[in-house]
Amino acid sequence: MKTAWTTTAALALLAALPATAQDESLSGTLTIFSDMSNPAPRAVMEDMAARFDEMHPDLEVELTIIEREAYKTQIRNFLTANPPDVANWYAANRMRPYIEAGLFEDVSDLWAEPEIAENLASTKSALTVDDKQWGVPYTYYQWGVFYRADIYEEHGLEEPADWEGLKSNCQTLLDAGTKCFAIGTKFLWTAGGWFDYINMRTNGYDFHMQLTNGQVPWTDERVRTTFANWRELIDMGAFIDNHQSYSWQEALPFMVNGDAAAYLMGNFAVAPMREAGLTDDQLGFYQFPLIDPDLPMAEDAPTDTFHIPSGAENKEAARAFLRFVVSPENQTLINGGDALGQLPVNAASEVDEDKFLEEGFEMLSANAPGGIAQFFDRDAPAEMASVAMEGFQEFMVFPDNLDDILGRLEQARQRIY
């Protein structure tokens, strides 16, 4: 019996698809487990399942949506005992435990197909473990520096292309009584963003991944160089005072009121800044500038993914669904402002006419950065991330404690990994 999810919008899209997209060769049942339980993502997931179901007359799609936090506690059990054909999850280290346990299927064959190889190149590293690919991405969003363009213009500043330019801008702002960066580290993870970027710009994406994978000691001189670069900003007084007392939302007024000129943050910060009264003419965005000019520009772009469990029964249909998920037409549809409101992962997709989404898409797709990191608390195991981000916050407040901090992080690395 066919599912009854089809909507008018889905049928309209089907009519626009080329005839070859409606493949009648798939049959049986395709079971999908998803954690897209919030209202907008749920509607996206249900619509995707409906459209794929309609494209394959002899295939029945069975979709089960599980509340996100419950999904996190159930995933290992259902992958082991009663695996679906397709499951949602996350890229990089968040998928590694299931790969190492033999619970996710190797889908390197999909990544060898030109449509995927050419248009998803920027996200390949985030889906790669042991030189194989283990899933496909369906959405991500950019991180970078959002700044007060009107304040920069007032002081004759331009978007910095390198570290020296960033520090020069910062000194000009400080001389005028304006902090360079807003940040709230009360909940620790925002400091992780600063570490990610300074470390990737200082030592490169591969080194950053080796560090988060536990393969490099925290006392390594290259790690110390990262902290030395970070300390240049701390010693200048670049960050707002008492940032450890604020959440990231509580630090937004410093930028809104003009007491700070920029914020290193994900694209999700745009909506509350607009709601607080800042216009797009007042706001700008730039890629975190290079430190070592010989290193390609890696980015933080947390990525959500689909995987085929190794115990799936209908792997042919599952592979077809993954191709469908990453197709430019589907990527355009599901990531639009009326849907997920994020960035498509396919470089051939279209992006909503939103200034910051367009700039983020250009940065992540067209510029083919030197790797996509998932953010520190996704790239490192949870226990290591917790210990490290406590250290990052402490360093920002007490930079002279660096030796003690790195010693604790190294002890944690040896214990956790």
Instruction: Please report which confidence band the pLDDT of residue 382 belongs to, taking 50, 70 and 90 as the band edges.
Output: confident
Average pLDDT score over residue span 80-103: 95
pLDDT digits (tens, 9 = 90+) for 256-269: 999 999 999 999 99
Over residues 114-120, mean pLDDT: 95
Helices marked H in 87-162 = 96-100, 108-111, 114-119, 149-154
pLDDT at residue 17, as a whole number: 46
Tell me the per-residue pLDDT of 332-354, one tens digit each, with 9 for 90 and over: 999 988 899 899 999 999 998 89
- The reported pLDDT for the residue numbered 367 is 66
Long-range contacts of 391-397 (CB under 8 A, 24+ apart): 392/185, 392/188, 392/191, 392/192, 392/194, 392/195, 393/185, 393/188, 393/191, 393/244, 395/191, 395/227, 395/230, 395/231, 395/234, 396/185, 396/191, 396/194, 396/230, 396/234, 396/239, 396/243, 396/244, 397/244
The residue assigned the tokens 């992962």 is 345
159-166 average pLDDT score: 98
List for the chain the helix, strand, coil content (%; round to 5).
50, 15, 35
Residue type, 298: A
Reported confidence tier of residue 366, pLDDT bands at 50, 70, 90: confident
H-assigned helices in 155-297: 163-175, 189-203, 205-212, 221-236, 252-256, 270-275
- Tell me if 57 sits within 8 A of 289, measured CB to CB: no
Q: Could you report the per-residue pLDDT of 289-310, keeping only the tens digit for each?
A: 999 999 999 999 999 999 999 9
The string of pLDDT tens digits covering residues 314-328 is 999 999 999 999 999
What percent of the chain lies above the pLDDT cut of 90?
Answer: 88
Structure confidence at residue 91 (pLDDT):
93
In this predicted structure, the answer to whether residue 120 has a pLDDT above a threshold of 80 is: yes
**What residues are paired with 129 via a beta bridge?**
132
pLDDT at position 368: 63
**Angstrom distance (rounded) from CA 102 to CA 106:** 10
The better pLDDT of the pair 62, 353 is held by 62
pLDDT of residue 92: 87
pLDDT, averaged across the chain: 92
Q: CB 257: neighbour CB atoms within 10 A?
A: 11
Mean pLDDT to the nearest integer, 118-130 = 93
Q: Give the whole-angstrom CA distance, residue 131 versus residue 96.
A: 13
Q: What percent of the chain has pLDDT over 70?
A: 94
Interval 395-416 mean pLDDT = 98
Per-residue pLDDT, 14: 41
CA–CA gap between residue 204 and residue 400 (Å, rounded): 25
- The per-residue pLDDT for range 10-55, each reduced to its tens digit, is 434 443 444 334 455 899 999 999 999 989 899 999 999 999 999 9
The domains of the chain, with CATH numbers, are 8-140+303-372 (3.40.190.10), 143-300+381-416 (3.40.190.10)
The rounded distance, in Å, linking the Cα atoms of 18 and 129 is 34
